[in-house]
């Protein structure tokens, strides 16, 4: 069985024919060559495959492509090219919040969603939000620092616009 699906990915209308068993993650990576969405555990434990579905972070490995029909998807490529997370990316770089980088795209998607919902999170809230994102390199401290720094920078930019 194959099914025709239409959805919006990073602002572009996409139409493809897929098997129902194809995950959204495989669809993004293999059909659309959007390989910034990483596949780690493929069972919802590691958080490397997070994308925004209807504006909310979800595991692309746990959503079937056919379930995303008619929906809006944003991946790390879309967030990156739009400049929406440029400051977050810079903060990760400044603070050495990545080493191998495998988890980073999922971290970015989640941090972006967190700061959208809660612009001034406590460190404990940042840790709670990242509880489903595994990083085996950094020990998390630098990642929490980078997200915390981004939140503070955004708040100060709002108070004192350049």
Q: Which residues bind other proteins (CB under 8 A)?
A: 1, 3, 19-23, 26, 42-44, 47, 50, 53, 56-59, 61-64, 66-67, 110, 113-114, 127-129, 131-132
Identity of the residue, 49 or 97, whose beta carbon is nearer to other proteins in the bound complex: 49
Quote the CA–CA distance of 135 and 129 in Å, as a whole number. 14
Least spacing, CB of residue 116 vs other proteins, in Å: 12
Identity of the residue, 9 or 109, whose beta carbon is nearer to other proteins in the bound complex: 109
The dihedral built from the CA positions of residue 134, 51, 116 and 90, taken in this order, carries a sign that is: positive
Q: What are phi and psi of 58, to 5 degrees?
A: -140, 160
Least spacing, CB of residue 113 vs other proteins, in Å: 8
Least spacing, CB of residue 47 vs other proteins, in Å: 7
Identity of the residue, 93 or 136, whose beta carbon is nearer to other proteins in the bound complex: 136
Name the H helices within the chain. Answer: 24-26, 76-82, 86-94, 104-117, 123-129, 141-159
16 burial (CB, 10 Å; 0-12 / 13-18 / 19+) is middle
Identity of the residue, 49 or 149, whose beta carbon is nearer to other proteins in the bound complex: 49
């Amino acid at each position: 069985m194959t099914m025709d699906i239409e959805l919006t990915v990073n602002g572009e209308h996409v139409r493809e024919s897929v098997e129902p068993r194809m995950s959204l993650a495989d669809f993004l990576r293999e059909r659309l060559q959007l390989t910034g969405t990483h596949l780690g555990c493929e069972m919802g434990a590691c958080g490397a495959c997070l994308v925004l579905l209807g504006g909310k972070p979800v595991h692309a490995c746990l959503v079937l492509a056919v379930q995303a029909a008619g929906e809006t998807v944003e991946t790390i490529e879309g967030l990156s090219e739009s400049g929406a997370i440029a400051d977050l990316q810079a903060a990760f770089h400044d603070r050495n919040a990545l080493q191998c980088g495998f988890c980073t795209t999922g971290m970015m998607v989640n941090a972006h969603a967190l700061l959208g919902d809660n612009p001034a999170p406590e460190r404990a809230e940042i840790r709670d939000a990242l509880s489903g994102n595994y990083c085996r390199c950094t020990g998390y401290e630098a990642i929490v620092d980078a997200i915390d720094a981004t939140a503070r920078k955004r708040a100060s930019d709002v108070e004192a616009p350049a």
